Amino acid sequence: MNYVLPAEWHEQCAVQLTWPHAATDWLPILAEVTRCYIDMAREISARVHLIIVSPEPAHVRALLAEHLSAECLRRTSFCQAPTNDTWARDHSFISLLTPDGPHLLDFRFNGWGEKFSADLDNQICRRMMEQDILKGQYENHLDFVLEGGSIESDGMGTILTTSQCLLAPHRNQPLSQAQIEQRLLTSLHAKRILWLDHGYLAGDDTDSHIDTLARFCPDDTIAYVQCLDKSDEHYAELQLMEAQLQTFRTTEGKPYRLIPLPMAKAIYDEEGTRLPATYANFLITNGAVLMPTYNNFETDRQAEEQLRKAFPHHDIIGIDCCPLIIQHGSLHCCTMQFPKEMKE
């Protein structure tokens, strides 16, 4: 293919974090979530260039100087920008490799269907271009709502997504599913779309982003959340999701290799609302998979063992993401990777 939406395991030049600050919803637990971001920054910058978006880059640089090695700090650059929140996966560029070099696709982010303010976050991509943070040709797709967490690419022309998200209210109405599919095929230069019609997580604000449920892995593999507890509220939907995944076929007509990830033990906030803890929200980067953990030895260990089957040549690095799920996201939601062709 001349145009490629690279798989996440494609070699990367950088990973973006959008840093939490006191003017975000993180304020009540800012110290705890900052420690989590420092852990992510340390593991990312040990392997690939780290781009940090922040309204206060000097403050973040000084903070990281206390926690990162000099070498890791040298591999860190900053983009100054006001931000509403921190979910880089959904407000950052989607990268496309083309015959004339990499393209940076800027889709509209509207706070997951106008649930939250996103006016500042929706400008981050343009600010990154103004500050020459990434190299590539800018593509304006701001007439279409698309979040990075809502799509998965196998790097060979297949996109995996969920109908619950892409057809959810306040995204791209009045477009039909067929019209949305055609827009995706055209803008992402994909061959086909696999629509997952089942699966959800309690407490999820994204309307079932695919990166909370099922993820493409190398060698025609899909890692997905499995629920075996019939008393769990997710059981019926995740059983239907598993059954649908079993019907999916590669472009060669073969079934995918399916690797189930354990259902995380139920975690609740102070109001008793279940939080969307998921082991599917991992980040693949150069030589490593950064995996969210949730302070439960049994399921954390099981998830690590399963991911080793999908990534036998990668280091599996656990990062405590209990603070992140308080705001209904996890590790993959906080990050966005850029392919090696897109040198900073």
Global confidence as pTM: 0.97
Is the distance from CB of 278 to CB of 201 less than 8 angstroms? yes
Per-residue model confidence (pLDDT) at position 224: 98
Two structure tokens written together for 210: 């695919």
Q: Is 328 within 8 Å of 204 (Cβ atoms)? A: yes
**2 found inside a domain:** no
Closest C-alpha among 192, 333, 288, 198 to residue 249: 192
The whole-angstrom distance between residue 302's C-alpha and the CA centroid of its chain comes to: 21
Would you say residue 142 lies in a domain?
yes
- Answer whether residue 224 is part of any domain: yes
Instruction: Answer yes or no: is 313 within a domain.
Output: yes
Residue 185 included in any domain: yes
CATH number at residue 47: 3.75.10.10
Instruction: Report yes or no on 82 lying in a domain.
Output: yes
Q: Give residue 10's region: left, alpha or beta (phi > 0; psi -120 to 50).
A: beta
- Provide the residue range defining the domain that includes 174: 12-339
Q: What is the DSSP string of 264-317?
A: PPP-B-TTSPBP---TT--EEETTEEEEEE-S-HHHHHHHHHHHHHH-TTSEEE
Distances (CA, A) of 178 to 119, 184, 193, 197: 29, 10, 11, 15
| Distance separating alpha carbons of residues 206 and 110, to the nearest angstrom | 11
pLDDT of residue 342: 86
Residue by residue, DSSP assigns 5-62 as: ---TTS-EEEEEEE---TTSTTGGGHHHHHHHHHHHHHHHHTTSEEEEEES-HHHHHH
pLDDT of residue 182: 98
From the centroid of its chain, how far is CA 340? 18
Residue 320 lies in a domain: yes
Residue 169 included in any domain: yes
Task: pLDDT tens for the chain, 344 residues: list them.
Answer: 589 999 999 999 999 999 999 999 999 999 999 999 999 999 999 999 999 999 999 999 999 999 999 999 999 999 999 999 999 999 999 999 999 999 999 999 999 999 999 999 999 999 999 999 999 999 999 999 999 999 999 999 999 999 999 999 999 999 999 999 999 999 999 999 999 999 999 999 999 999 999 999 999 999 999 999 999 999 999 999 999 999 999 999 999 999 999 999 999 999 999 999 999 999 999 999 999 999 999 999 999 999 999 999 999 999 999 999 999 999 999 999 999 998 74
Per the structure, the count of domains in the chain is 1
Phi, psi of 298 (to 5 degrees): -65, -55
pLDDT of residue 1: 59
CA–CA gap between residue 4 and residue 95 (Å, rounded) = 9
- pLDDT value of residue 343: 77
DSSP H or E segment with residue 126: helix 124-130
Residue 7 φ then ψ, to 5°: -65, 160
